Structure formats: structure tokens, C-alpha cells
Amino acid sequence: MEPSLASRGDRGGASTGVFSNRIEREQLVPGDHIYSWRSACIYAHHGIYVGDGMVIHYTGAAGQEIGTGTFVNRIFSISSSPWRNSTPVCERCGVDQSRQNGVTKSCLDCFLAGFNLCLFRYSVTPAFFITQARGGTCTLAVSDPPEVVLHRARCLLGNNGFGTYSLFNNNCEDFAMYCKTGLLVDASSGGATRSGQISSLAAAMTLVASSPLGFLATGGGGLVVAGAMYSISRYLSDISIRWDVIKIPVETLVAQLPTGNPGAAS
């Protein structure tokens, strides 16, 4: 029997901590934002646990899920797919996993695809956030009540959409974080993803591109400065800090889905 929705809030789970966000299946309750690392922990796939061993998540069909079409996108798009088997029709789900795309519903086994189960944490402290050097595991943002989270996820599932899938602008982590918070980047601001994974990657790439090799090779002091710059950049990219993030009702978002731009609300 799953714990009641009323008993939940922004919790980390009994087995989560600084070094791991792993969680056992029996600890899950509806409304949890969960994820699993894929491809040697290069990328994580995210979704919303809705109860009865089922997960609503956002994925792209092979060959059409990525808007930019880069080599990196193709690698990550394989990681985001819940299907890895030669027999894609799941007895638990009763659907062909290889043909699922957009906002979809799968059993927990198909969602995890053999990888570990982790819980995404909300309302963490700035200190905890910084200790999680890798993005896509937590946020300072506050989660809405579980019943609101489930309403958003089910509404987007029923309308089969969350805009056009793009690894760098509109991915599975963005979907799960929207379900939990209702927050989207205002498209008129020119802002990019809310995803912690991509924000961390961008912070690392910016640091390398803007720092002369001599600066990075100055020993311990240089590494400390580089680490501080990376942490500050990640912190300022969090959805609870950004100035270009707005809260959008799911009904408004659904009405705008034909435009393919979930951040277009004014």
C-alpha cells in the first residue's frame, strides 16, 4: 500500500542523501519526480510516478525527437527511450514501447529499462544544491502538492503533448519539473531549458571556453576558482532563481500546444 498524498511534500526519501538519490520502489508515492541514469550515467531519463507501478514521462520517437539533429542529441535520444529490448510489447503496459513518443505512460520496469531508480529532490538548501555537482538531481524550487502534480501530468498525457521534444530546450526533465512546479521559461525572453542536466553541461562548457589553459593549470587555487564559477553558474540557472521563469496553468499550456511552443504563454 502506497503512502497517502497528504503525507508527502518536498521530501528526499529515506534512502537519499548527499551521495545518492537512490530510492526503493516501495518508498514511492504518486506525484514523485523520479529518474534513472542511462548510458554509463551520461544522461538521465525523468518522469512522474502516478501510482500502481506506472510512470508518466516525456520521450521522443527515434529520428524525430530532436529538433537540432546533432550527433550529441542522437546519443542522448537513445538514452531517453524507455525501450531497449528485442520484444518491445510489454506485458505490464500492453503497448509497443518502441512506438511511444511524446507524453506517454509506462510501467516502472519499462521506464527504468534495467537501470537504478532515483528520486529528484525539491526545496533543497543552497549548500546541498552545490554539493550535487552534477545537475538533474535536485532543485531549490518548491514542489506543488501531489494532487496538482498528478493533474498536470495526466492532463498532458490526455492531450498527448508537451510541445516539440528537444534535448536542449524541451526534454524529459523539463516535463517532470513543469509537472512538479508549473514553471516554464518565458519564450519571449529567449531563455533556454529548465533542465539541470543541460544547465550543468552549459556551465561546464562555458567555463572551459572562457578560461585560458594557463588559468586552469595554476594549481589548487585555479581549480577552486573554476569550481566556484561552475557552482555559481549552476545556481543561477536553477528555476527558483531565474528571472525568465513564469508559472503557467496546465489548461493554458494545453491550449497552446498546437504552436509547439510550451513556453509561449504571456
CATH code (residue 143): 3.90.1720.10
Of the two residues 203 and 159, the one the predictor is more confident about is 159
Q: Given CA atoms 11, 160, 62, 194 in this order, what sign does their dihedral have?
A: negative
What burial class does residue 265 get, using C-beta atoms within 10 Å of its C-beta: 0-12 exposed, 13-18 middle, 19+ buried?
A: middle
- DSSP-derived letter for residue 160 is T
- Predicted pLDDT at 113: 84
Which range, 95-99, 140-144, 254-258, has the best average confidence (pLDDT)? 140-144
What predicted TM-score, i.e. pTM, was given to this entire model? 0.77
- Segment 6-13 mean pLDDT: 48
Domain annotation covers residue 188 = no
Of the candidates 45, 46, 118, 138, the residue annotated as catalytic is 45
The yes-or-no verdict on residue 17 having pLDDT over 70 is no
SS3 of 35-76: EEEECCCCEEEEEEEEECCEEEEEECCCCCCCCCCCHHHHHH
In angstroms, rounded to a whole number, what is the distance separating the alpha carbons of residues 115 and 123? Answer: 26
Of the candidates 57, 110, 118, 179, the residue annotated as catalytic is 57
151 tagged catalytic: no
Torsion of the alpha carbons at 31, 38, 137 and 52, rounded to the nearest 10: 10
Of the candidates 107, 110, 118, 172, the residue annotated as catalytic is 172
Q: How many domains does the chain have?
A: 1
Helix (H, G, I), strand (E, B) or coil at 206: helix
Range of the domain at 147: 25-62+76-81+88-183+246-256
Domain annotation covers residue 141 = yes
Roughly what angle, to the nearest 10 degrees, separates helices 196-210 and 172-181? 120
46 tagged catalytic: no
The per-residue pLDDT for range 174-230, each reduced to its tens digit, is 999 999 999 988 766 555 556 656 666 655 555 555 565 555 555 555 556 665 666
The per-residue pLDDT for range 33-84, each reduced to its tens digit, is 999 988 666 788 999 999 999 999 998 754 333 333 444 444 444 444 554 4
Task: Encode burial over 156-180: b for 16+ CB neighbours within 10 A, e otherwise.
Answer: bbebebbbbbbbbbbbbbbbbbbbb
Element at 149 (helix H, strand E): helix 146-158
- Predicted pLDDT at 32: 98
Domain annotation covers residue 136 = yes
